[in-house]
Amino acid sequence: MDKYRYDNRSDRWRKRTGAKHSRAHRWANVPRRLILVTAVAAGALVAQTAIQHSESLPEINASNWFGSKPAPIAGVASVIDGDTIEIHGQRIRFNGIDAPESKQYCEDAKGFEYACGRHAAQALDEFLAASRPLHCSFVNRDRYGRLVGDCDRAGGRNVQSWLVERGLALDWPRYSHGAYARQQAKAQAAKVGLWAGAFQAPWDWRAEHANGTTRPSAKQPLGIMRNGQVAQSYSCQPQRTCPQISSCNEANWYLANCSWGGKLDRDKDGIPCESLC
């Protein structure tokens, strides 16, 4: 009986070993090119399936990574610049538009330079102060961590539309997909705000001044005073020192409108040429 079981096990072992050798022999006889073609075809099928599946997936953005979309905010806004505000300590960037930077200068209808960035911020501040609170809903966060959203003044007036329509900001097609193109065309036809003179698109200005330069080395003729009145006798060229300045108003104009104006305020208290002011 023991010999019989031993012979039986030996036969089964020989059969299994023979089957393995047979399979190995068959694979060895399959051309390598056929194996390669089969593998490539299988990979293509997997890739196609993945692409078709991905088309149904939502776009991946910061709001998907960091949780649900932030809740809307309502409150009194502090103006940071022409397209950025702050409510309850939260920095908010207007969606779909771009306003001149705080240090950006443009030319008015007469070719005189003025601080168009500061002008846009001041106009925005006055617009928001006339009707509070401001209501903002959000679409995302930008690379600086600011909330990006659409904001409406009390009563429903959209802030972005107002800024573009007044020529204080531009429709930014990269993000707006032309949402404010109609308002921009209206401003351009009426030659209001930026469209009254010459200017550089804010996104181009930022790229050109990325190295820290605040103003181009172009001519610097007359500008516009902070209160909006045209200066009739002041010019940023040549540079002046306090003994060469005749009045406090003149000193304040240079401080507000000229790249070298900060030199007139040595102690940085916001008052230039204190012997005059």
Active site residues: 93, 101, 146
The vertex-130 CA angle with 124 and 134, nearest 5°, equals 70
User: Is the preceding peptide bond at 221 cis, omega within 30 degrees of 0?
Assistant: no
CA atoms of 264 and 252, how far apart (whole Å): 9
Q: Report CA torsion sign: 168, 122, 199, 139.
A: negative
Distance (Å) of CA 39 to CA 26, 46, 47, 49: 18, 11, 12, 16
Fill in the amino acid letter for 152: D
- Residue 69 C-alpha from the chain's centroid: 18
Fill in the amino acid letter for 75: G
